[in-house]
Chains A and B, each alone.
Chain A
Amino acid sequence: MPQKIITPAFNYDQQTVPASPTSGQVWRERSTDNNVVEGWSWNGTYWLSNTKYVTSDVTTSSGLSASRSGFPTPYVGSQLNSGVFILYHVVSGAAATSPQDINNYWNIRFAAGATPISSIFTDEIPNAWLVGSESFSKAVNLAIIGSSFSFDAFWVKSGTPGNLGRASQSLIYSLIR
């Protein structure tokens, strides 16, 4: 009876960084005591960790911006270029008061950066008006090198939209090695 061959879901299973990766390869990083530290995939330029999330909330009724400053990476490569690779920026908001319509809406601007370096404008969601609770997301695909980061979503009025009842934002990112 032929033996079934199980292909591992990773190409490397070791402590050290693979020397010559090719796009799409996966590395299971182990610590010196052989515990699994992190899973990484090579995108052709960086080793990117498994996807992670960080969220920031604004709860004031008149909050027009949501920001999260100085969130540190929980793990930073010791000998390599390191930082975060931002995959998606997501914001959500709920209308507290009217109007929220085609003439009275928000432009949501995203920025991110390695602190304390000034923020990098990443993208914008124009013409966002809220019918109840809404969520918007933007693919970013941007590498930011450093060991501490901040990200912001600015809600900029166009016309005279009603207040935001709640606003929050999330960053979906990978660590970089």
Chain B
Amino acid sequence: MLKRSYDSNGELSTIHIQIGIYHAQVPYSPISKSVEWQSIVYEPTKQSIQSAWDDWAKDKDLSVELADRTDLSPAPIAPSPDWAAFNRLAAKNNSITQILTATTNQFAAIQLQLIGSPAGYSVNGLAKEDYPLFQGAWAQVIAGLAAPLAPDVITELNAIATSANMDFTFDSQGLIVY
């Protein structure tokens, strides 16, 4: 049995082969992508590992068995939402200003800013448990508008969210989804 280890790019880095109850390291070179038996100088060690390798490798396609596994490479870590940037961009955006001014639900507009503003000054941004409050307040603001949001306004909102690495988007009605 073979134990393979891959680096963070999914490239094969080390190979161990089972011999009895233990695993011996096969002299695989990730640079040449081949087994370099000559690197084991001590003959008894080389013979032991090579014998186990030959038994295992019988009838196997090494180009498949020793292939890199880029599918194992971890996905890049998403950057944290930048609530300070989001608040700045929102405050400067004419469409958002018009939405907050035009909505008949001014209580929701104030509540939205009360929830969102402090997050801009917190290292951790908005706490996850407050997302439903922020989402709900925004939904009430939208519900208080005389007309649905135009598609280009929703595109603007999503551009702001993307620019600030927010972990939510605005759907076709302009509502927050996360």
Please report A residues at the B interface, Cβ cutoff 8 Å. Answer: 17, 19-21, 42-46, 79-81, 83, 85, 113, 117-121, 141-145, 177
Contact = CB atoms under 8 A, between A and B. Distances in A.
Given A81-B42, A118-B6, 18 more contacts: A19-B44, A43-B22, A45-B19, A45-B24, A45-B49, A79-B41, A80-B42, A85-B22, A113-B14, A118-B5, A118-B7, A119-B5, A141-B21, A141-B22, A142-B23, A143-B25, A144-B14, A144-B25
B116 to A, nearest CB: 28
Given A120-B14, A121-B5, A83 B20 contact: no
B8 to A, nearest CB: 6
B13 A118 contact: yes
7 contacts: A44-B19, A45-B44, A113-B14, A120-B5, A120-B14, A121-B5, A143-B16
Interface string B40-83: 11111100110000000000000000000000000000000000
B45 A45 contact: yes
Interface of B: 3, 5-8, 13-14, 16, 19-25, 27, 39-45, 48-49
Nearest to B40: A81
B24 A81 contact: no
B8 A118 contact: yes
Given A117-B13, A118-B5, A121-B5, A21 B23 contact: no
A45 B21 contact: no
B41 A143 contact: no
A143 B22 contact: yes
A63 B159 CA distance: 39
Q: Is the interface of B mostly helix, strand, loop or mixed?
A: mixed
B5 A142 contact: no
B23 to A, nearest CB: 5
A114 to B, nearest CB: 8
Contacts of B49: 45
Nearest to A117: B13
B45 A81 contact: yes
Contact of B22 (A17, A142, A145): A142
Contacts of B13: 117-118
Contacts of B20: 44
A144 B22 CA distance: 11
A145 B43 CA distance: 16
Contacts of A80: 41-42, 45
A118 B30 CA distance: 12
A81 B6 CA distance: 22
Contact of B25 (A17, A20, A141, A145): A145
A177 B20 CA distance: 19
Contacts of B23: 141-143
Contacts of A113: 5, 14
B150 to A, nearest CB: 44
A142 B16 contact: yes
Nearest to B48: A45
A64 to B, nearest CB: 17
A33 B48 CA distance: 32
A8 B48 CA distance: 27
A141 B19 CA distance: 10
Contacts of A21: 44
**Shortest beta-carbon contacts, A-B, top 7:** A141-B22, A45-B48, A120-B5, A118-B7, A80-B42, A145-B25, A142-B23
